[in-house]
Amino acid sequence: MFSRRNRRTRRPSSPALLAAWEALDAGDVPGALRQVRAAGEGPPLAEVALVVGRAAGAAGFTDLADASAALAAAPEDARALYDFGFACVERGVADLAIPPLREALHRSGGALPVLRELVSAYEDEGQHREAVAELVRHEDRLADWPDRYLLVFNAVLAGDLELARRRHALLPDPEDERWRPARERQNRMLARAADAGRAGPLDTADLRGWQYVMGGTVLGTLSPYGFDAGMNGRYAWLQDSPDLCLRGLLRLRTLLSATGVRPRSVSLLPDRDSRILGLAAAEVLDLPAEPFAPGRTDTVVVAYDLDGLAAHDGGPALIGELFERVPGQVLHAHACSWTDPPAVTPDSAALLHQSVVAPWGEQLRPGADGRLERGPADERPEAEIAAEVTGADPAAAADDADGDGDGPADGDAGFTAFATAVAGTWLRGDRARVRSAGPVPGSRFA
């Protein structure tokens, strides 16, 4: 194994990695990792390990630094390859784990622990088709739990429902009770797929359908911009508006009506953004608003953005209380990140985004010289801002839904038909986080 000094002084010879090394010389760890990714799978793994090890040392990730040193010293050793891949997955750079884990799988003769870690790395990167292909390749040796379960899971997220249903039918119930919740989630996922498949095509452009299949979220609106740029109904960076907030609440009202859900109140979460939207929701739904209380039944819990709630004092505890479903409770989130999904999956979401600024937040606007500048947040009382949301023009919100004209229609009739079709499988089970974007591709922006 190299000493720490040798890790710093030995340099990669690959031209593709020299830029990464120079970024580390300048103290730019994220930039170095970007250069490693840009180099692809061309450079030798030993040299990749040199760069990653130095970056890990700078970040204080001793486990990854040590695994990198071991791989640099023995790049053909299956254990060193596996340990490096494992450490990469643990440290959130699963994309760098995939090549060494593939090589470790080959050199280990297809060892199942290596296969499982490779599948985990593929899942973290949303490469579900690759995970399925690897599991099918070794299918004759798979254990039912977790391996064949993972095959079904990844087949669903890859959009291959035919394969998922065939393998699911052959999968026995787990003997180990720890796998029982996973089995039940998979049962619910495939039941939702049956309903969503009757409501829409479930193809690679059916964002609403797949959001429902994956986590039980009914997506209220589709972004009308950038379908040709690969957004497929998602927003990238969004300056939100009262019109969009109102449109999301109107879709929530339609959803409740179409599914026959009859809440008795709106529960207000403690962060300011959620309180504003919750007050507006109470007006739109004609329900009393009251502070959120754990265990309250027959209520709509309204969040503007669940990530904003998580950042609020006491927010993490509230997120934990929302994981397990209360009878008659509906969790609605207006804005939901698709690139970094929230810790709990909402039952209803108005829109998907990569980055969002609330209508009353510090939005960009033209300054006196015509240049864009960040304006101050709206500090008016919450009820006054909520009244601005409920007083927005529904026609303007509907007109804006036409967007650039490249996306599919997102009319009220189609949404109502979808909500009606999924009524039998909505609001079932826990609200486990869904990390995957699923079969519908989306363009990500830095």
pLDDT in tens, the chain (446 residues): 333 444 445 889 888 899 999 999 999 999 999 999 999 999 999 999 999 999 999 999 999 999 999 999 999 999 999 999 999 999 999 999 999 999 999 999 999 999 999 999 999 999 999 999 999 999 999 999 999 999 999 999 999 999 999 999 999 999 999 999 999 999 999 999 999 999 999 999 999 999 999 999 999 999 998 888 889 999 999 999 999 999 999 999 999 999 999 999 999 999 999 999 999 999 999 999 999 999 999 999 999 999 989 888 888 999 999 999 999 999 999 999 999 999 999 999 999 999 999 999 999 888 777 788 899 999 999 999 999 999 998 777 665 655 666 777 899 999 999 999 999 999 999 999 999 999 999 988 76
Whether residues 222 and 361 fall in one domain: yes
| AA letter at 339 | T
The total domain count for the chain is 2
> Residue 255 burial (CB < 10 Å; 0-12/13-18/19+)?
buried
211 phi and psi, to 5 degrees? Answer: -60, -35
N- to C-terminal Cα distance for the chain?
36
Q: What is the DSSP letter of 325?
A: P
pLDDT at 4: 42
Whether residues 251 and 358 fall in one domain: yes
DSSP 332-351: EEEEEESSS--SS--SEEEE
Which SS3 state, helix, strand or coil, does residue 268 take? Answer: strand
H/E element, 250: helix 242-259
Whether residues 251 and 372 fall in one domain: yes
Whether residues 117 and 208 fall in one domain: no
In a domain, 159, yes or no: no
Hey, what are 172's tokens?
A: 């026995």
Identify the bridge partners of residue 289 per DSSP, sorted by sequence position: 266
pLDDT at 395: 73
| AA letter at 24 | L
359 phi and psi, to 5 degrees? Answer: -55, -30
The answer to whether 132 and 118 have CB atoms below 8 angstroms apart is no
Hey, what are 322's tokens?
A: 């929302």
In a domain, 171, yes or no: no
CA distances from 364 to 46, 245, 357, 446 (A): 46, 18, 9, 18
The answer to whether 394 and 215 have CB atoms below 8 angstroms apart is no
Rounded CA separation 427/355 (Å): 27
In a domain, 426, yes or no: no
Whether residues 393 and 247 fall in one domain: yes
Rounded CA separation 310/319 (Å): 7
The answer to whether 95 and 122 have CB atoms below 8 angstroms apart is no
Whether residues 211 and 347 fall in one domain: yes
CATH number at residue 10: 1.25.40
Rounded CA separation 68/201 (Å): 46
Whether residues 299 and 399 fall in one domain: yes
Whether residues 116 and 16 fall in one domain: yes
In a domain, 131, yes or no: no
Ranges of H-type helices in 324-428: 382-390, 394-400, 412-421
Hey, what are 393's tokens?
A: 């023009």
Whether residues 115 and 222 fall in one domain: no
In a domain, 438, yes or no: no
Whether residues 210 and 117 fall in one domain: no
The answer to whether 156 and 390 have CB atoms below 8 angstroms apart is no
Rounded CA separation 278/290 (Å): 9
The answer to whether 244 and 397 have CB atoms below 8 angstroms apart is yes
Domain span at residue 8 reads: 4-125
Which SS3 state, helix, strand or coil, does residue 329 take? Answer: strand
The answer to whether 331 and 301 have CB atoms below 8 angstroms apart is yes
| Domain endpoint, select from 98, 125, 152 | 125
> Residue 370 burial (CB < 10 Å; 0-12/13-18/19+)?
exposed
| Domain endpoint, select from 65, 90, 125 | 125
In a domain, 428, yes or no: no
Hey, what are 95's tokens?
A: 């994309």
| Domain endpoint, select from 91, 125, 159 | 125
In a domain, 351, yes or no: yes
Ranges of H-type helices in 260-314: 272-285, 306-311
In a domain, 189, yes or no: no
Owner of token pair 């669903």:
156
CATH number at residue 385: 3.40.50.2020
Whether residues 415 and 296 fall in one domain: yes
Whether residues 98 and 245 fall in one domain: no
Please tell me whether the peptide bond between 316 and the residue prior to it is cis, using omega within 30 degrees of 0: no
CA distances from 20 to 12, 50, 380, 387 (A): 10, 10, 48, 52
